[in-house]
Amino acid sequence: MKEQLERIRASALEALAQAKETSDLEALRVRILGKKGELTAVLKTMGKLSAEERPVMGQMANSVRAAIEEHLEQRRAELAAAALEAKLRAERLDVTVPGTAPELGHRHPMNIALDEVKDIAVGMGFRILEGPEVELAEYNFTKLNTEEGHPARDWSDTFYIRDDSSVLLRTQTSPMQIRAMEAIKTPPIRVLAPGRVFRKDEVDATHSPMFHQIEGLVIDKGVTMADLKGTLETFVKGLYGEDCVVRFRPHHFPFTEPSCELDVQCFKCHGEGCPTCKGEGWIELLGAGMVHPKVLETCGIDPEVYSGFAFGIGLERMAMRRFQISDLRLIFENDVRFLAQF
Amino acid sequence: MNLSRKWLGEFVDISATDREYDEIMTIAGQKVETTTRLDAEIRNVRVGRVLSIVRHENSDHMWVCMLDVGEAEPVQIVTGAQNVRQGDLVPVAMHNSWLAGGKHITKGKLRGVESNGMLCSIQELGLTPNDFPDACTDGIWILNDEGAQVGQDINQVMGTDDSVVEFEITNNRSDCYSLIGLARETAAAFNVPLRLHEPVVKGGGPGVLPELLDVETPADDLCRRYTARMVRNVKIAPSPKWMRQRLRAAGIRPINNIVDITNYVMVEYGQPMHAFDYRYVRGGKIIVRRAGEDKTLTTLDGTVRNLTPDMLVIADETKPVGLAGVMGGENSEIKADTADVVFESANFDGTSIRKTALALGMRTDASAKFEKNIDPMLTLPAVNRACELVELLGAGEVVDGVIDILNEIPEPFELPLEPEKINRLLGTDIPEADMIDYLRREQIEVRDGMIQVPSWRPDLRRMADIAEEVARFYGYNEIPTTLMRGLTTRGGYSESQKLEALAGNAARAMGYSEIITYSFVSPTGLDRIRVPADDPRRNQIRILNPLGEDTSVMRTAILPSMLDILARNFAHHNKEAKLYEIGKIYLPVEGRELPEEPKRLVLGSYGTGDFYAIKGAVEEILTAVNAQKPVFEAVTDDPSYHPGRCAAVIIGGKRIGLVGQVHPLAAKNYEIDGDVYAAELDFTELMTVLAPEKTFKPLPKFPPTSRDLAVVCREEIEAGRLEACITAAGGRLLRSVELFDIYRGAGILPGYKSAAFSLVFRAEDRTLTDGDIEPAMDQILNALEKELGAVRR
């Protein structure tokens, strides 16, 4: 009997190793462990054994059954894993086929550039202001210390709405300085006013009768030109990176004194002079200055107590440089092949 | 303003290279646009002496020359010119040289004889007879009388061994539109002495000035000062080479000695001058007046100019002889036989001159200077300088005395130097002595703490102006950089700005790309979207001086802007487009100077999607901005939209916008084939119908129960009405109603449709049973049948 059990065990284990399908395993189980199975048949003959032999053989029979069951389970798991593996392989996809998510729309590059400026400004405590685009000449010029007869007021340069030149399309965002001071009245004032402006320029690669400016204004007690420099440097480094080099040079605006322009060193040639910077080594970025005392007085702010600075950035030029857009017309043409690039 | 570095050398000594000069001047406040080397064009052309000249063996018109060009070996060159003689000095374009217009010269053979370059005419060197009046015009330029040396670079003979610096002069610095002004700036920037010259006139010409000439200035409001002198027995001739070369470097064509002198003085002093031929000044009288009755004047350039009564003219007793400050008249022009000359050195009102020049489309060097309102104190030294030059050139005899009418002369102006305030404004700690020194470098004197502001600096009127002068020479880049102190301010975006950002994000998430379109549009846009003549949107703000009809009105509707861009994309063969813009429209308000400028959001698409796609986009945008729940009502009568595919977006009873298919006739007006969809939302109005801020509601504890309900109703019953009816009748346990199918066809009578809804019921406090739901379903079915004639399918 012992030999019988050993034989069953050996043949069962071999058959298990040969099994290819889970159905083979089931057949095997029935053949050996089932009610009419080989092992069961052997166990049925147990009664014929002596009382001494019976427990020994019983134990042996149980261990054979356990071993076969264990191997059976193990083999079942192996086959299941192999079957799953085969199934998954069969489900293979071409992962290079494009995804099916709906296509996102694109932000206009001008507004991408504007958002960057606004984010930096908000972080520095600036409020974002908006104001009228059809504007009074009083705000666009007079209160900005630009007297009657100034060339900027010419009908050849400015779009007018009224015969008496009193209403126009704003030529700059600077009237927002006046509107901010008149609205807020008591400093501190920190505002950023981006928006559309209009000048009578024919459309070409660098001109458009409508374009965008970003005006900044800071008024407080004891604001200095050193503060202007520090603030604008922070701005520019926020936009172009910590390692960009800036310089300030004197300029003239009717509503600031002293006035300046800020240049950044050409990113391509680092000041050597190249076609990008027209050989100058520097690229003009923005105009700025200390708010003219006359302008403060006009807005009811005492220049003996308060001072401040203002700055203006041309958004198109900034965005065009940022994205290396070669022709201003592309910006207002809004071709989807252009928009999709941003 | 163009500055010749060589000419500048008459006033200041600096050794800076062009690049250094540009950098230092720019940093000090006179921005250099470009610097041009005048000898960049003509290269490797030398002065040569003709050693021998013989006939070409194979030609009856060519010559073979041997030339000494300052090298060990003579150079052989073949020429076809007939005016060259042995011993002559001539310009020799060597092998590998460059001539005017980029012409490249290399050696070669002419009819078998080697030629190692070319002999040049003045034209080939880019010159005109005006530059060298004595030069031969149809042969080689003979340099025998030009003081040339063998081997010398031809640019030195031409005077083009020079750099011309182009400055961007700011509006407030009219004094810098002159050589002296820029020399003053140079001296200050480099801290070197400035050599100024006081003109000395010998005079003694025949006659007594007041007897010869009388000047009146009835238009004294437009003529601050009129200064005149006379020169007699003038000998018109070319001006000397040095003067011609300087004018040429300044970009002015030499004409003759008298005209050249006026131009020379204009460049040097920045004071425009004019020379009249005295014989044509009727009655010896010069009257500065408005044109008035005089309708035309023929200017020096031979053009008949139409005058308006306000234009300022220079007239004699009978007629205008010049357009004041702009251009002289042809009738008093300097001619070859002019004998007596009146020099005018006047100061006219800048605005008047600018307007005249603009109206006549003739901005001249003179008018460009006058329009900046130049220093009235210049007229006298300038006219004296002109007379001095006349004497220097031997061009005539200057009559003693000056006519000088002073109508409006600025008072001497002084203001205190306030070092402490200046430092406080700049954020610096500059000693007073340094400030005084900076001003001294600019020829501005400080006496007893008072700044003596010179007449040429009317821009210096208060402390801030002086602060800029101090900063310029201290160095803008030397000022420290600090960050703002003081009270901090709360930065941020306004509610409407935040809303715009949310709406834009939602639009892009649904595939719409952002566009930016012009605020001014063509008035025909409203025709193209079929807006009736009496529509309020027809009340547009007109620009009185537009660039063109296409940009002549401020838009009162944003749809045409969107359709323009869709049309352009369609024309560019882009298969599809989904676009949005958030932009202003401009609505005139009765009795107010400025219009309202509310914002609109517009969506537009072609080649993709359908009505429900764009409606879905609108719904998502409204969700994104947290608007209250919208209701969509069919609109059948908006002429811009398809009468069967357009809905009004209504929130809280307010009409916020429209969504729909653009009317095929409107799409056709834009030449877009296929369906075009658009939506317009009043963004300003949307601000008023926002839902309360979102707060958390506990998640339901008990499961929902779903029921599907399909009903059959007449075709014209809208799904929205069925849904509203179900919602109203469903009772408080009904949580949501969602349409999931509309079916027409087999099993449904023509003219009817089947609509299937998914209904969800839920209670807060228990799991629902059929006993809860059946009564609600019965109520719903009753209501549907009674109100809409819809029955369960």
Query: Which chain A residue has the Cα nearest residue B580?
Result: A105
Hey, are the CB atoms on B520 and A335 less than 8 Å from each other?
Answer: no
Query: pLDDT by residue (tens digit) across A160-185?
Result: 999 999 999 999 999 999 999 999 98
Query: pLDDT by residue (tens digit) across A201-224?
Result: 999 988 999 999 999 999 999 999
Query: Which chain B residue has the Cα nearest residue A150?
Result: B351
Hey, are the CB atoms on B371 and A151 less than 8 Å from each other?
Answer: yes
pLDDT value at position A16? 85
A104 occurs within a structural domain: no
DSSP B726-782: HHHHS-TTEEEEEEEEEE-STTS-TTEEEEEEEEEE--SSS---HHHHHHHHHHHHH
Hey, are the CB atoms on A209 and B484 less than 8 Å from each other?
Answer: no
Q: Which residues of chain A does B517 touch, with a Cβ-Cβ cutoff of 8 Å? A: 332, 334
- Which CATH code fits B416-478? 3.30.56.10
pTM (2 d.p.):
0.86
Where residue B406 falls among pLDDT bands split at 50, 70, 90? very high
A195 occurs within a structural domain: yes
Hey, are the CB atoms on B491 and A124 less than 8 Å from each other?
Answer: yes
Picking from B326, B308, B322, B314, the residue whose alpha carbon sits closest to that of residue B287 is: B314
- Which CATH code fits B209-406? 3.50.40.10
Number of domains chain A contains: 2
Q: What is the mean pLDDT of residues A105-125?
A: 94
On whether both A159 and A73 belong to a single domain, the answer is no
Handedness of CA B547, B552, B554, B558 (dihedral sign): negative
Q: Does A98 touch chain B (CB under 8 A)?
A: no
Q: What is the mean pLDDT of residues B388-409?
A: 95
Q: Which residues of chain A does B486 touch, with a Cβ-Cβ cutoff of 8 Å? A: 188, 220-223
Q: Does B547 touch chain A (CB under 8 A)?
A: yes
Hey, are the CB atoms on B586 and A134 less than 8 Å from each other?
Answer: yes
On whether both A7 and A144 belong to a single domain, the answer is no
Domain end (from A59, A90, A121) = A90
| Domains B2-37+167-190 and B416-478 alike in fold | yes
Q: What is the dihedral of CA B774, B779, B782, B785, to 10 degrees?
A: -100
pLDDT value at position B133? 86
Domain boundaries, chain B: 2-37+167-190, 43-158, 209-406, 416-478, 495-689, 705-792
Query: pLDDT by residue (tens digit) across A131-143?
Result: 999 999 999 999 9
The DSSP H or E segment spanning B435 is helix B432-441
On whether both A57 and A141 belong to a single domain, the answer is no
Euclidean distance between the first and final Cα of chain A, in Å? 84
- Touching A: B residues 454-483, CB under 8 Å: 462-465, 467-468, 471-472, 476-477, 479-483
Q: Does A199 touch chain B (CB under 8 A)?
A: no
Where residue B487 falls among pLDDT bands split at 50, 70, 90? low
On whether both A165 and A296 belong to a single domain, the answer is yes
Least confident window among A281-285, B82-86, B640-644, B667-671: A281-285
| Higher pLDDT, residue B366 or A8 | B366
CATH architecture of B2-37+167-190: 2-Layer Sandwich (3.30)
pLDDT value at position A36? 85
CA distance, residue A94 to nearest chain B CA (Å): 26
- Which CATH code fits B705-792? 3.30.70.380
| Higher pLDDT, residue B439 or A272 | B439
Residue B77 has pLDDT above 90, yes or no: yes
Where residue A153 falls among pLDDT bands split at 50, 70, 90? very high
Where residue A24 falls among pLDDT bands split at 50, 70, 90? confident
Residue B418 has pLDDT above 90, yes or no: yes
Where residue A31 falls among pLDDT bands split at 50, 70, 90? confident
Cβ contacts below 8 Å, chain A against chain B, sum to 249
A101 occurs within a structural domain: no
CB-CB: which of A128, A167, A339 is closest to B494?
A128
Please, what CATH class does the domain formed by B495-689 belong to?
alpha beta
On whether both A263 and A132 belong to a single domain, the answer is yes
pLDDT value at position B410? 86
Where residue B29 falls among pLDDT bands split at 50, 70, 90? very high
Contacts of A198-201 spanning 24+ positions with Cβ under 8 A: A198/A133, A198/A158, A198/A159, A198/A169, A198/A170, A198/A171, A198/B519, A198/B520, A199/A157, A199/A158, A199/A159, A199/A171, A200/A156, A200/A157, A200/A158, A200/A159, A200/B545, A200/B547
Query: pLDDT by residue (tens digit) across B721-745?
Result: 999 999 999 999 999 999 999 999 9
On whether both A6 and A114 belong to a single domain, the answer is no
Hey, are the CB atoms on B508 and A106 less than 8 Å from each other?
Answer: yes
In this structure, the number of other CB atoms found within 10 A of the CB of residue B94 comes to 21
Q: CB–CB of B434/B239 below 8 Å?
A: no
Hey, are the CB atoms on B543 and A160 less than 8 Å from each other?
Answer: yes
Q: Does B545 touch chain A (CB under 8 A)?
A: yes
Amino acid of residue A341: Q
> Rounded mean pLDDT of chain B?
94
Q: What is the mean pLDDT of residues B627-632?
A: 94
ipTM of the complex: 0.86
Query: pLDDT by residue (tens digit) across B693-706?
Result: 999 988 999 999 99
pLDDT value at position A150? 85
On whether both A164 and A41 belong to a single domain, the answer is no
Contacts of A208 (CB under 8 A, 6+ apart): A201, A316, A328, A329, A331, A332
On whether both A167 and A73 belong to a single domain, the answer is no
pLDDT value at position A26? 86
Residue A43's domain spans which residues? Answer: 2-90
pLDDT value at position A58? 83
pLDDT value at position A280? 82
Domain end (from A31, A63, A90) = A90
Amino acid of residue B289: R
pLDDT exceeding 90 applies to what percent of chain A?
59
Domain end (from A62, A90, A118) = A90
Residue B755 has pLDDT above 80, yes or no: yes
Residue B193 has pLDDT above 80, yes or no: yes
CA distance, residue B298 to nearest chain A CA (Å): 25
Q: Which residues of chain A does B27 touch, with a Cβ-Cβ cutoff of 8 Å? A: 247, 249
Q: Which residues of chain B does A120 touch, with a Cβ-Cβ cutoff of 8 Å? A: none
On whether both A50 and A149 belong to a single domain, the answer is no
A52 occurs within a structural domain: yes
Residue B91 has pLDDT above 70, yes or no: yes
Helix axes B432-441, B179-190, angle to 10 degrees: 150
Least confident window among A62-76, A271-285, B508-522, B562-576: A271-285
Q: Does A149 touch chain B (CB under 8 A)?
A: yes
Domain at A312, CATH number: 3.30.930.10
On whether both A218 and A281 belong to a single domain, the answer is yes
CA distance, residue B457 to nearest chain A CA (Å): 14
A84 occurs within a structural domain: yes
Q: Which residues of chain B does A252 touch, with a Cβ-Cβ cutoff of 8 Å? A: 170-173
Residue A34 has pLDDT above 90, yes or no: no
Q: Which residues of chain B does A126 touch, with a Cβ-Cβ cutoff of 8 Å? A: 489, 491
- Touching A: B residues 576-605, CB under 8 Å: 576-580, 584, 586, 593-595, 597
Query: Which chain A residue has the Cα nearest residue B548?
Result: A202
> Rounded mean pLDDT of chain A?
91
On whether both A129 and A7 belong to a single domain, the answer is no
Please, what CATH class does the domain formed by B43-158 belong to?
mainly beta
pLDDT value at position B486? 65
On whether both A165 and A311 belong to a single domain, the answer is yes
